[in-house]
């Protein structure tokens, strides 16, 4: 199997294995699915952390308003009584006014936070360093665990406008957000390797050869952005180590120069009192502890 180290920009994303004879179109579709699913999981995890602390999201027309403004406008969260967490709610005000403050109790909150932690670990970019592969099944399983945790804590479901529910139903609206810039639509994705775009209609072996034990670094990006920048010859960590080594070497040379500059001070010819001692007949006198001079 060919092992592909997938990057987006200069940042590692995940490792993926595939047959060398795979169609580029099929490969690209699977890679984009995993890439986008990992982004979705990350977005859900962020929202679930807030869900565990401050409860469900307020209706859009109530978000960001103060309590007095809500009273003055006679607004009401009709979902607060429908979406009660298991075991009852604990009030924890959301200072930014985005969630209703009806948080799950400690036990239920722990279910959410533990599931979030496990989901994040299963898609972590650090898995590349651990040489651990990413698959479609892993991201699907992570999404399933997140959905299951929400159902346990909120058996009646979340409000339809809650971003977690929208994400789980694949109805999220990302336009105008930073997240929309990260997502790669399946019909707008490209895969690059060795400065070449891997084109649909060809197979992976048309580019990397027939060796099924090949390891390559490929980059995912959107169409129209041109070829990705070349990988730096020296990594940032290697660059830091080289600079540290150069600094230490410079300090050693500086100390050596200072030592050589002061070495003559111990020489007899550099003694300012040598002529005086010679006239006084004391130039060869040696002192010893407890013995006076001799």
Q: Over 80: is that where the pLDDT of 29 sits? A: yes
* pLDDT score, position 279: 57
* pLDDT score, position 255: 78
| pLDDT higher at 291 or 137 | 137
* Per-residue pLDDT tens over the stretch 203-233: 999 999 998 889 999 999 998 777 776 665 5
Among 251, 290, 43, 12, CA closest to 132: 12
Q: Over 60: is that where the pLDDT of 100 sits? A: yes
Sort strands 2-8 and 215-222 into parallel, antiparallel or unpaired: parallel
- SS3 of 221, please? strand
- SS3 of 4, please? strand
Mean pLDDT of the chain: 88
* pLDDT score, position 277: 63
Largest CA distance in the chain: 110
| pLDDT higher at 242 or 185 | 185
- Whole-model pTM: value is 0.77
* pLDDT score, position 267: 61
* Per-residue pLDDT tens over the stretch 230-241: 665 555 677 788
Q: Over 90: is that where the pLDDT of 290 sits? A: no
Q: Over 80: is that where the pLDDT of 288 sits? A: no
| pLDDT higher at 108 or 254 | 108
* Per-residue pLDDT tens over the stretch 109-123: 999 999 999 999 999
Q: Are 153 and 85 in contact (CB under 8 A)?
A: yes
d(C-alpha 3, C-alpha 134), whole Å: 11
d(C-alpha 170, C-alpha 175), whole Å: 14
Average pLDDT rounded to a whole number, residues 161-179:
93
* Per-residue pLDDT tens over the stretch 4-22: 999 998 899 999 999 999 9
Burial class, 112, CB count within 10 angstroms (exposed 0-12 / middle 13-18 / buried 19+): buried
Encode burial over 192-228: b for 16+ CB neighbours within 10 A, e otherwise: bbeeebbeeeebbbebbeeeeeeeeebbbbeeeeeeb
Q: Are 52 and 113 in contact (CB under 8 A)?
A: yes
Average pLDDT rounded to a whole number, residues 135-164:
96
* pLDDT score, position 265: 57
């Amino acid at each position: 199997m060919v092992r592909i180290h997938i990057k987006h920009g200069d940042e590692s994303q995940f490792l993926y294995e595939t047959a060398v004879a795979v169609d580029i179109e099929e490969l690209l579709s699977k890679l984009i699915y995993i890439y986008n699913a990992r982004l979705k999981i990350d977005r859900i995890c962020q929202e679930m952390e807030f869900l565990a602390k401050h409860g469900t999201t307020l209706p859009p027309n109530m978000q960001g308003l103060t309590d007095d403004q809500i009273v003055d406008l006679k607004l009401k969260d009709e979902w607060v009584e429908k979406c009660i967490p298991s075991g009852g709610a604990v009030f924890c005000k959301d200072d930014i006014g985005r969630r209703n403050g009806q948080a799950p109790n400690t036990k239920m909150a722990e279910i959410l936070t533990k599931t979030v932690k496990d989901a994040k670990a299963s898609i972590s970019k650090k898995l590349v360093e651990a040489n651990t592969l990413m698959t479609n099944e892993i991201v699907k399983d992570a999404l399933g665990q997140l959905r299951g945790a929400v159902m346990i804590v909120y058996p009646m479901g979340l409000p339809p406008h809650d971003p977690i529910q929208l994400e789980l139903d694949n109805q999220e609206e990302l336009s105008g957000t930073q997240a929309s810039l990260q997502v790669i639509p399946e019909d707008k994705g490209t895969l690059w390797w060795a400065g070449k775009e891997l084109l649909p209609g060809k197979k992976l072996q048309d580019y990397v050869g027939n060796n099924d034990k090949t390891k390559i670094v490929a980059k995912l990006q959107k169409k129209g952005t041109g070829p990705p920048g070349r990988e730096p010859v020296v990594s940032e960590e290697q660059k830091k180590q080289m600079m540290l080594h150069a600094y230490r070497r410079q300090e050693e040379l500086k100390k050596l120069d200072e030592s050589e500059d002061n070495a003559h001070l111990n020489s007899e010819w550099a003694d300012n009192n040598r002529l005086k001692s010679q006239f006084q007949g004391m130039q060869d006198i040696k002192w010893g502890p407890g013995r006076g001079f001799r």
